[in-house]
Every structure is written in structure tokens, then in C-alpha cells.
Chain A
Amino acid sequence: MLEFDGLHKSFGDVRVLEGVGFTVAPGSMFGFCGSNGAGKTTTMRIAMGLVRADAGEVRWNGRPLDQASRRRVGYMPEERGLYPKMKVGEQVAYFARLHGLGAAAAATAADEWLERLGLGARRGDAVEKLSLGNQQRVQLAAALVSRPEVLILDEPFSGLDPIGVDSLAEALLGQARAGVPVVFSSHQLDLVERLCDSVGILARGRMVATGTVDELRHRESGRLLRVVVPDADAPWASSVPGVRVVSERAGDTVLELADGADDQAVLAAALRTGRVTHFAWQQPSLVELFREAVAAPAPAEVAA
């Protein structure tokens, strides 16, 4: 288990993290979402020992990550970092050696990964001569070359074209299938929804939602009901007990039902206005969940 537990961090007066915690099981992929400046990068940097947490810790297999165990973590920083003038092959091998591989093993592993990521022919070129997408692959190779036990990737998909996204996704799924817990942050929520076993949404320094996409959806869909009653000309739903009108526009109504509120009573009320063309629990996309979670002024009500 990779556990992020109660992380607190302030930079001066700015409180960036206020108790961030989530767990990633081996072999599962965790999508880390949150608006810009929410604290995703800080969280990952704490895990990598680049930032010191004011409180809380990150554990791998029950033991806090330290300098030695971090060497078993593959890391891709948000700001891509490679030596621009160093050759691709040497560079990847260098990072392998920094992670503890011997010279020969490092060279072999570097070649293997570059080949696998389709960069075999470019291994003798300086990194700066590569396209951005290819540089990104080299970055991934640098993160994977030491056969890490854990992967922590900050915005690995940003700047990639759809084909690059697919091949990176494939590589990450392969790692997860091999039993590596993968944490990555991304703004591409459709991607997160597609790839990740579980998702965490970070807002204002707290995890406002964690769980599988289905769980989150369920939690939301348990409460939001969309009813379209084109003939209604007056507020019709607010009289039903336990119902709050979230929005109403030309008969297209979104209702929030409190626990125990009767959806059939809502349907009866709707039928009293005339035709009912739509009556369904909302199936929010991750984007909507995200918007909801991030926009909510009182995060407690959606916090897991």
C-alpha cells in the first residue's frame, strides 16, 4: 500500500495542504485531480522528499518513505527535467545508475526502455534535438528505467498528442498490471475516468472526494434528479418534502433529494403539471463531479 497520510504544508502564511490523505493499492492506478494551485505538485514533492511536510507522512508498505526507499520510486516531475545537451541513451542510463543499478545493468535497461518506447534510433541524439513528445518519452524512460516499485507522475499526459497519450496510457497500465501502484495527476479528466481505478479530488488543500469513479458518481447520483416537465408554469417541486431545487429553466429541473425523500412523490408532483419527458437520476461525468467538488464552498458535504 502507498499511503499519503494527513499531509500538512504551509509556505509562509499560505496553507497549501491541510490534511491530504489517500491510499493507493499495489497494481492500481490513482488519478489525482484538482484545480491549478490546489496542492497536487506539493503533495507529490513531499512524497519524493523534495518538500518537507509540516505534518503527516507518506508510507510505502507501512514504512515512511525515506531516501533509500525513494530510490525505488519512479518519478516524473511536473516541470520536465533532462540535461538538454546529454545524449538520450546516456541520460537514461545515468538516472538508472542514480537509482542504484550497476553500469552494465543501467546501459542494458536504458536501451531496453528506449526501444520499448520507440526511441531506439534516437539514443545517440542530444535530448534537445528531440521533439517535445519524444522528450516526454525520454522522461518516462528515466522514470521507469530502474524498475520502480512505485510510480509518482506529475501531469504525465500534458503536452502529448492523442497517440502519445495512448502509448503512455498503455505503458502505465502495463506497470499497474505488473503490480506497481501508480499515482498520476492530470487535468484530462476523461483520461483519468478511463484509466484510473480510483480518483482523488483535491481542493483548497483537502481531499474533497476520493473513491472509484463509480463510487463518486453514486454518491452524487443518489441525490440529483433531473426532471423535464415542459408544461409546468409554476414552481412545482419545492412543495415535496426533502426536495431542493438546484436549477430550473423552461421546465428542465434539477432537484436535490435529501436522504429519505421519496422520488415517487416527486414523479407524482411532476405528473400533476402535465407531460414528463425526462425523469432520471443524474449520471455525472467526472468533469461534473470535479466541478461540483471544487466549486463547493463547504467541502465537508462531499468529502469522503
Chain B
Amino acid sequence: MTAPAPHEPSSASLVRLVAAREVATRIRDKGFIISSVVILLVIVAAVVIQVVTGSGDEESRVGLVGGDGSLVTALEAQGEALDVDVEVVELDDEAAARTAVDDEDVDGALLAGADPELLVRESAGGTLEAIVQGAVGQLAVAEQLTEAGLTGLDVPEVAVTALDADAAADEQRVVAAIFGVVILYSLLILFGQFIAQGVVEEKSSRVVELLLATMRPWQLLAGKILGLGVLALGQIVAIGVVAVVAALAFDIVEVPGDLISTVAIVIAWFVLGYAWYAAVFAVAASLVSRQEDLATVLMPTSMVLIVAFFIGIQAASDPGGLLATVTSLVPGLSPLVMPVRQAAGEVAPWEIALAVVLMVLAIGLVVRLGGRIYSGALLRTGGKIKMREALAADRA
């Protein structure tokens, strides 16, 4: 044979070899491909459904000549009160307004001023008129009160506009975050299963003995987690991109920047959550030797994940509540709760920092302790091994 002499591979190259095998095996696996496609289709379908059901809401484009920001917000707020998506288009002058109305570019155009006038093509339609009337009236009342010296009473204007506008954006971010948590949960479960099945496959086929003759258990564990992690990250990024593009294409978000930042937050938390859950799943799976026993041993971790998921959903309606606040800091739960709180804007930066630090510490702990259980349990077959035994048997 003429092959060059083998060299001693570094830890990194062993980890890379294991990871590359995981990726290569997985991307040729029909189950994986199908599940990936299905998830993407579900996202697109969800966006489409959002559009279809959302179209039940009336939409109205209102041209505005003159007037200031307060009038725009008043119109939008009024629209919201009447369940109509109001879009205000600022126009230069009356001529432009007439053209816009004629071209059906806007449903109506409001000429603001002392004697406000609403230009429409045929008739104003009940809601449009109500929106404009309400907005103008509200402002006028406020103005007159101010003129009458009752400056303290301009509260309604400030309160209505500011709070409502914020809530709308918050709500959209929270919806995006809930979406994100659902995806995050699904992917964590899916890839947790992949990892666990992979570990048991190696144990039940006894190939692990051959592997451990060439590498240390932690290298095998790290390679598996990284390999599938790359796939998982690719998948969640793809989902994020598809979701953002679809949402923008179908015009269901008002502030794209908010959506993108929420997606980024979800992805960041996914990385932390994945690292933790993948390690825990792998370690748990190493305790059994048969796929049939897997469900039992994964149950506790799955339960944690499910509980975290429901708390995350619940946090959407009460992001500042005690439950959400506490759980958003607890490692293991935080990846599914914190993104929702962050999206809702109900969280202080130090809380995020603390949650991240705690999560990173927890990952470190799981990798260290779990790695020992993993290496103690890998070569023991038959039945379910107790964690204590595995720790004691670590490379015994």
C-alpha cells in the first residue's frame, strides 16, 4: 500500500469528523428532509392564514393635506377603535388629494384646517366618515379646551395616541415571539430526539466501542451536538428568513425592524436552548441501550421543555407577571420565556444579561457533569443505567 502514514488527529479534527458524519447522515435522511420542508410549509401557511383571516379587517387609505402628526395618530387610533387598518398618506395640496381620490389611490382625502373637508370619490362609507369625524372631533375638542385655558386636559390626546400606538407594535412583536417560541420548541424537541436516537443507535449497534477506541467520550458528544446544531441553526435561520420574507411580502407587519429583531432574539435563545437541551437529551439517552426505552428516559426533560413552552405562551399575555419574570431567568426555561418578554419590551437589560449568564453556566455544568455520565454509561448495555452508577463507572 502506498497510502501516506496516518497522523495523530487533533481534538478539533475528531470533533469535526463526528460532526461532519452527523450532518452527512442527517441531510440524506428522508425523515429529516420531510420534517424540514413541512416546517417551512407550516410557516408559510401560517402567514397566509394570517393574511386571509386578517383581510376580514377593513383597510382604509386616507389622504391627508395639512394637519400634523397628532392628526395622523388620531386617525390611526380612531381606525383601530373601529377595527379598521388606517393608513395615512400625506399629500401636498388639494389638487394632489383630488388626483389621489380620482385614481382610487386613497379611499378619501382629508383637507385639514379650520374647516376640515373630506374628499371621496362616490360616498364616504360609514366607517371612513366615522374615523375622520372622530379624529378631527377629538383633536378639535382638545384644542378648544386648550384655548379655554384648560391645558391640563390635553391628557386624552397624549394618552390615546402614545399608548395605543405602542401596544400595536408590542402586540405584533409578541405575536412574532409566540411564533418563534412555537418554532423553537418544535426544533428543540425534534433535534433533541435526533441526538437521543443517534446516541442510542451507537449504543445499540455497539459501534460506540469502536469509536471510543479512537476518541474520548466528550469529543464524540461534542461532535454530535455541533453537527446537529449546525443543521438546527441552519433550519431555524431558514425559517426566520422565510417568515420575515413572507410577512413582508404579504404585508402583515407594520415595522419590519421589530420583526427582524424579534427573529434575531429567538435565534439567539435557540442557540443557548439547543446547547443545553441537546446535551441533556444526549446524556439521558446514553443511559439506555434500546430505542424502545428512550421515551421513558427522555420524559423528564421533555416535560421541562413542555412546561417551558406553556409558560412562554402564557408570558405573552402577562410578560411582567411574577411567573414569567422568575421563569425567564431559570436555565432551561429561559430560552422559551425570555424571548417573549423581550419582545413585549417588559424586561430590563440586566435581567437578560442574568438569564444569559445563568444559561451559559447551566450549559457548562451539563457538559461537565453530563459528559461524565455519558462516558460512564456508553459502554454499559442492557437495562436502564442509574445516573449515579454511570457517574461512578465513568471510564472505570
Residues of A within 8 A of B (CB): 11, 45, 48-52, 67-68, 70-73, 75, 77, 79-86, 90, 94-95, 97-102, 105, 108-109, 112, 142, 146-147
Contacts and interface: CB of A to CB of B under 8 A. Distances in A.
Interface string B1-42: 101101111000010010001001100000000000000000
A294 B158 CA distance: 96
Given A50-B209, A50-B213, A79-B206, A71 B25 contact: no
B209 A71 contact: no
Contact of B210 (A49, A52, A75, A109): A75
B216 interface: yes
A35 B174 CA distance: 68
25 contacts: A49-B212, A50-B212, A50-B379, A51-B379, A51-B395, A71-B6, A71-B8, A72-B6, A77-B206, A77-B209, A77-B210, A77-B213, A81-B208, A83-B25, A83-B207, A84-B205, A94-B21, A95-B210, A98-B211, A99-B214, A101-B6, A102-B4, A105-B6, A108-B3, A146-B6
Contact of A94 (B6, B17, B202): B17
A166 B213 CA distance: 27
B118 to A, nearest CB: 70
Contact of B207 (A50, A75, A82, A147): A82
Contacts of B396: 11, 51-52
Nearest to B379: A50
Given A94-B21, A100-B6, A100-B8, A82 B205 contact: yes
Nearest to B209: A77
B102 interface: no
Interface in B203-231: 205-216
B201 interface: yes
Query: Interface centre among A71, A81, A112, by most B CB within 10 Å?
Result: A81
B3 A109 contact: yes
Contacts of B201: 83-84
Q: Is the interface of B mostly helix, strand, loop or mixed?
A: loop
Given A71-B214, A98-B211, A101-B6, A147 B205 contact: no
Contacts of B205: 81-84
Given A52-B396, A79-B206, A98-B214, 5 more contacts: A72-B6, A75-B210, A82-B207, A94-B21, A97-B17
A101 B214 CA distance: 12
Contacts of B21: 94
Nearest to B21: A94
Query: Interface centre among B207, B212, B215, B381, by most A CB within 10 Å?
Result: B207
Contact of A105 (B3, B8, B209): B3
Nearest to A86: B25
Contacts of B202: 83
A81 B8 CA distance: 23
Contacts of A102: 4
A239 B137 CA distance: 136
Contacts of B216: 67
Q: Nearest 8 CB-CB pairs, A to B?
A: A100-B6, A81-B206, A81-B207, A79-B206, A77-B209, A98-B214, A105-B3, A48-B213
Contacts of A142: 210
Given A51-B396, A52-B396, A75 B3 contact: no
Nearest to B216: A67
Interface in B298-330: none
Nearest to A100: B6
A98 B208 CA distance: 13
Contacts of B215: 98
Contacts of A75: 210, 213
Contacts of A99: 6, 214
B11 to A, nearest CB: 10
Interface string B356-396: 00000000000000000000000101000000000000011
Nearest to A105: B3
A147 B210 contact: no
A49 B213 contact: yes
A98 B16 CA distance: 10
B7 A100 contact: yes
Contact of B213 (A52, A73, A97, A105): A73
A11 B8 CA distance: 32
Contact of B17 (A73, A79, A98, A112): A98
Contacts of A108: 3
A48 B213 CA distance: 6
A67 B9 CA distance: 11
Contacts of A86: 25
A146 B9 CA distance: 13
Given A98-B215, A112-B1, A80 B6 contact: no
Nearest to B393: A11
A90 B21 CA distance: 10
A105 B4 contact: yes
A81 B204 CA distance: 9
A202 B206 CA distance: 25
A105 B212 CA distance: 22
Contacts of A80: 206
B192 to A, nearest CB: 20
A100 to B, nearest CB: 3
